[in-house]
Amino acid sequence: MKIDIIPINPWQENTYILSDETKECVIVDPGCLSPEERESVAQFIEDKGYKPVRLLQTHMHLDHVFGSKFIADKYNLKLEAHKDDEFWGEQTVEYAANFGMQVDSNPPAIGNYLNEGDTISFGSSTLEVIHVPGHSPGGVVFYSKEDKIAIVGDVLFRESIGRADLPGGDFDTLVSNIKEKLLVLDDEVSIYPGHGPASTIGHERTNNPFLS
């Protein structure tokens, strides 16, 4: 599986495009905010010859869904996310205004609910859905056992974890879910967060001060 990372928008959110030899791809957390950012993502996809077949959200915080409507409309895709984050999508425009940002619309309604243990297929690849609430109630991780990768959103960062002070967040829930659902994965599993650099499960197990 190939992973393309596009840091974008004022929060430098990592938009991910996962693909394989079939050229089918899934777009995870499209954070493209401005028209220029949206067109740059679309041009990247075109230049690579990718065929987008799924639109996935690790969670529905505004910086991760700025471009979701654009992607859904352009490629005729349903937005897929956990139902417990639905309320976040419904207030994106309102919440963005708190930061002095004008967003033209909320993301589309969730068209397919993702649940713990679901399998997401594209091309010749599969991802497993792991529900990891705490940063947001509907936070999920997309995990490939075969490729030893996990797209973790804002649940886990290199030597840090996601904030838990936003509506629906809970610090103890976040830490316990990381320990019980992510640290049980192999040390070699690479984690790709919603912001900042990648890491590995092994590195976080031994070096993350929030998980000691």
pLDDT of residue 212: 87
Q: If you classify domain 2-211 with CATH, what class do you get?
A: alpha beta
What gap in Å lies between CA 158 and CA 38, rounded to an integer?
27
Confidence of residue 64 (pLDDT cuts 50, 70, 90): very high
In whole angstroms, how large is the CA radius of gyration of the chain?
16
pLDDT digits (tens, 9 = 90+) for 136-180: 999 999 999 999 999 999 999 999 999 999 999 999 999 999 999
According to the model, what pLDDT value does residue 99 have? 86
Q: pLDDT band for position 100 (50/70/90)?
A: confident
126 strand-pairing partners: 121
Q: Which amino acid is at 206?
A: T
pTM of the model: 0.97
Burial letters 121-135, b for 16+ CB under 10 A, else e:
ebbebebbbbbbbbb
Query: Using an 8 Å Cβ cutoff, are 120 and 127 in contact?
Result: yes
pLDDT at 104: 87
Please provide residue 39's backbone torsions phi and psi, each rounded to the nearest 5 degrees: -70, -30
Per-residue tokens: 162: 């996601």
Residue 119: band (very low, low, confident or very high) from pLDDT cuts 50, 70, 90: very high
17 within 8 A of 27, measured Cβ to Cβ? yes
Lowest mean pLDDT among 13-17, 97-101, 126-130, 143-147: 97-101
Q: Tell me if 119 sits within 8 A of 5, measured CB to CB.
A: no
DSSP assignment, residue 83? G
Answer yes or no: are the C-beta atoms of 171 and 164 closer than 8 Å.
yes
Give Cα 211 distance to the centre of its chain: 21
If you average pLDDT over residues 190-211, what whole number do you get? 98
How confident is the prediction for the chain on average, in pLDDT? Answer: 97
Q: Which residues pair with 161 in a beta bridge?
A: 156
> Hey, is 197 helix, strand or coil?
coil
